[in-house]
Amino acid sequence: MKRVSLCLLLAGLLTGCGAGSGEGLDEQGLPSDDNGTGGNDTPPVPGSLAQLQADIFSPICAQCHTGGAAPEGLRLDSEQNSYDSLVNQPSGQQPSVLRVAPGDPEASYLLRKLEGADGIDGGQMPLGMSPLSATRIAQVRDWIENGAPREGVGDAPTSVSLQGHQSEQRVVTLRFSRAISSESLSDAVQVYFHRDGQRVLASPEQYALSLQDGQQLRIHWYLPDYPVTAAEFVVNDPAVATLLDQQHRVLDGDRDRTEGGLFRHEISF
């Protein structure tokens, strides 16, 4: 029953769950292994709809959202049906908000419900269960950020966003929407300390970079031995060095959906 709860709430618009027509299920009544890709054994591309289908929609949601009688017409029993039901489709709870707004995770009701954001109707999904893991939510965010493409990871430039910072532990965590090139990382990240109205570049000994899975960057930083009023973190400054993704394209640092532009985050003391 807990597994069905996520299905009931996934689009944030459902009031009941029909049994469906049985289409998309195998002979045992379970979601079929064919997620709309022809049933091959090739692992899904990370950050793609195929990965979401394999990791989230098929194993959890298609038990309810399948066939012609799927609640509210929201079919999540194949990649194509999931795409058609989610992308550029209005939410039932808040029709002025799209379930998935390509390129704009913050404006996508699906992500708002998964994160339990302010302003949603009802509770965070899945109701009555622990929220989806940060990894699963990040998969959804990456796909939307990259334009919610039907196939692969799309053509939108790779972007970066703040995932969080821990002032006491002195760690800043950034998330890239696709895997980046580790070779270009060290030159493309700078840390500055603000002192007496001046901006002082931190030495290499005052911070360390840790890249996980090519997409999550943790910046561990250490306070200098002089008083400072703020720490500033810069990525992809064209005046210093640009950061490339694994397709050798320049990062979209300012999230204007074009390559280039710097990312900046400041912590004041």
Q: What is the residue-wise DSSP string for 40-85?
A: --PPPPTTSHHHHIIIIIIIIITTTS-STT-GGG---SSHHHHHHH
The answer on 255 and 228 residing in a single domain is yes
The answer on 230 and 205 residing in a single domain is yes
Q: Which of 115, 145, 175 is the last residue before a domain boundary?
A: 145
The answer on 179 and 46 residing in a single domain is no
Domain count, the chain: 2
pLDDT by residue for the chain (269 residues), tens only, comes to 444 444 444 444 333 344 444 555 444 344 454 444 445 578 898 889 999 999 988 887 777 778 888 767 778 889 999 999 999 999 878 999 999 999 999 999 989 988 999 999 887 776 666 788 888 899 999 999 999 999 999 999 999 999 998 878 899 999 999 999 999 999 999 999 999 999 999 999 999 999 999 999 999 999 999 999 999 999 999 999 999 999 999 999 999 999 999 999 999 98
The answer on 16 and 133 residing in a single domain is yes
Q: Which of 114, 145, 176 is the last residue before a domain boundary?
A: 145
Q: CB–CB of 80/36 below 8 Å?
A: yes
From residue 171, alpha-carbon distances to 69, 150, 163, 220 in Å are: 48, 35, 11, 5
Q: Could you give the angle at the alpha carbon of 190 between the alpha carbons of 188 and 195, nearest 5°?
A: 165
The answer on 173 and 110 residing in a single domain is no
Q: CATH number of the domain that 242 lies in?
A: 2.60.40
155 within some domain: no
Stretch (H or E) spanning 219: strand 216-221
Provide the pLDDT for residue 123. Answer: 75
The answer on 224 and 119 residing in a single domain is no
pTM: 0.78
- In whole angstroms, give the CA distance from residue 79 to residue 72: 18
Q: What is the radius of gyration, based on Cα positions, of the chain? A: 21
Percentage helix, strand, coil for the chain under 3-state DSSP, each rounded to 5: 25, 20, 55
153 within some domain: no
The answer on 112 and 44 residing in a single domain is yes
151 within some domain: no
90 within some domain: yes
Residue in the structure block whose two tokens are 């027509």:
21
Domain containing residue 78: 2-145
